[in-house]
């Protein structure tokens, strides 16, 4: 096919050249193929079928190779996406836990300052003073429990391996961290 195409291109170029130069076709020598070469009509069709089959096999092998490379690349991209998703989940939970721990520590600190720095009048009833001290101590205790639980859960999720992921992060969170998270959130609400 390529030989036939290239010979037609050569004929076209030669024809254009002769036309531009004004040379007559009859004055040019005619080149005949040697006697031992077969003409296009005498080619062996079995050899041509074998050549075509070989080209099809090569094309199929190339397509299979490209498909395998594509599948490997997709598997790598899926793994990267899974790692990114795990990291995003860890970062999201870490921010929630940090906010909860900071807020509860801040409230516990303010409660402690109120308990220590408040000026209590001399003529106050003992029951009211006891209730004030008890409720303030309860607020401080609940906020400290919330702070400590949130901090411990934060340490646990920051140690989660996002690359190897022995268990998915959602399962890790539900089994190991969610009960402590709920306790921290509940103690913060009660406080």
pLDDT digits (tens, 9 = 90+) for 113-134: 988 888 888 888 889 989 999 9
In the structure, how many helices (H) and strands (E) does the chain have? 5, 0
183, pLDDT greater than 60: yes
Question: What is the pLDDT confidence band of residue 151, given thresholds at 50, 70 and 90?
Answer: very high
Buried b (16+ CB within 10 A) or exposed e, 18-57: eeeeeeeeeeeeeeeeeeeeeeeeeeeeeeeeeeeeeeee
List of E strands, the chain:
none
Task: Tell me the torsion sign for CA atoms 16, 21, 27, 29.
Answer: negative
50, pLDDT greater than 90: no
187, pLDDT greater than 60: yes
Gap between the Cα atoms of 66 and 72, Å rounded: 10
Q: Count Cα atoms within 13 angstroms, Cβ side, for 56.
A: 6
pTM to 2 decimals?
0.61
* Mean pLDDT, the chain, whole residue set: 79
Q: Count Cα atoms within 13 angstroms, Cβ side, for 174.
A: 5
Helix axes 45-117, 178-190, angle to 10 degrees: 30
41, pLDDT greater than 80: no
The pLDDT value given to residue 61? 79
58, pLDDT greater than 90: no
Q: What percent of the chain has pLDDT over 70?
A: 71
């Amino acid at each position: 096919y390529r030989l036939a195409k290239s010979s037609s291109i050569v004929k076209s170029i030669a024809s254009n050249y002769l036309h531009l130069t004004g040379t007559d076709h009859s004055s040019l020598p005619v080149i005949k193929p040697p006697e031992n070469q077969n003409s296009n009509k005498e080619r062996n069709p079995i050899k041509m079928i074998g050549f075509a089959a070989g080209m099809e096999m090569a094309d199929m092998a190339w397509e299979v190779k490209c498909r395998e490379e594509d599948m490997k690349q997709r598997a790598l991209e899926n793994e990267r996406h899974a790692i990114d998703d795990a990291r995003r989940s860890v970062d999201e939970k870490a921010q929630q836990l940090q906010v909860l721990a900071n807020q509860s520590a801040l409230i516990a600190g303010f409660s402690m300052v109120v308990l220590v720095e408040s000026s209590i009048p001399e003529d106050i009833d003992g029951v009211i003073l006891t209730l004030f001290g008890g409720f303030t101590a309860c607020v401080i205790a609940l906020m400290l429990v919330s702070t400590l639980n949130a901090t411990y859960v934060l340490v646990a999720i920051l140690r989660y391996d996002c690359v190897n992921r022995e268990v998915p992060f959602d399962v890790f969170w539900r089994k190991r961290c969610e009960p402590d998270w709920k306790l921290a959130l509940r103690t913060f609400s009660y406080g």
